[in-house]
Amino acid sequence: MPYNPMFVNGRKSPVDASEIPGTANSSHRSRPASPEKKIPESPLEESANKPTLSKCKFYTTFIFAVVALSSFSALLFLVPFIVDPALATLTSDFIENPIECKVVHSKYTLGASNCSWSSCREGCTRDIFDCHQILIEYTPLPEDLSMVTIQQKNNAETKIRAALFVNIKGCGYPPTVQCASWISEYGTNETTIPCHYSRSNSS
């Protein structure tokens, strides 16, 4: 009888299945492949990415700084030339439709002491040493007679004398304000011109 390691003394001998090739428990069974390890970036690649990030931060900060500075400069420009005149116009409460006003005094004056006000001047920040002062007379609308003083009410005609200005500030910059042409049109004595008077300031 041929020798069989599974039979010893006529009995079947237990054999470890792992020792039999081809079985599920064999030492030659397959194992799952291990995940590939990520290769870390080299120091050269890391150093190449850092300058790009720094440049992005620098340009972003620079752009925001330029925008903030430009906005602040625009605000400083708008306040004295647009915002302030607009608010002054609202508080002065000018009449909507013009009425007839008569020029009773139009004079060109020299000297800073004589120019406490000017009907028109080009430039709102410079000192004035010469000025043109225009005074007009007008009759207020019936609904605005409450601002007429008692002395004026005793007169035969209810008239108010006031200074005439080219705009709410009395000044401006070319080409919007050109005093020479404006004075030649509205600064001739004994002429009648259209004007808007203020309900809150009759002077």
Q: Mapped to the 3 state alphabet, what secondary structure does 114-164 carry?
A: HCCCCCCEECCCCCCCEEEEEEEEECCCHHHHHHCCHHHHCCCCCCEEEEC
pLDDT given at position 47? 53
Per-residue confidence (pLDDT) for residue 151, from 0 to 100:
44
- pLDDT given at position 35: 55
pLDDT at 157: 62
Spans in the chain with pLDDT lower than 50: 1, 3, 6-8, 12, 24, 26-28, 44, 150-151, 154
Predicted confidence at residue 84, as pLDDT, reads 62
Q: Which residue bears the tokens 């020029």? A: 103
pLDDT at 99: 92
Hey, what's the torsion of the CAs at 155, 166, 188, 113, to 10 degrees? 80
Choose among 134, 138, 142: nearest CA to 194.
138
Structure tokens at 12: 């079947």
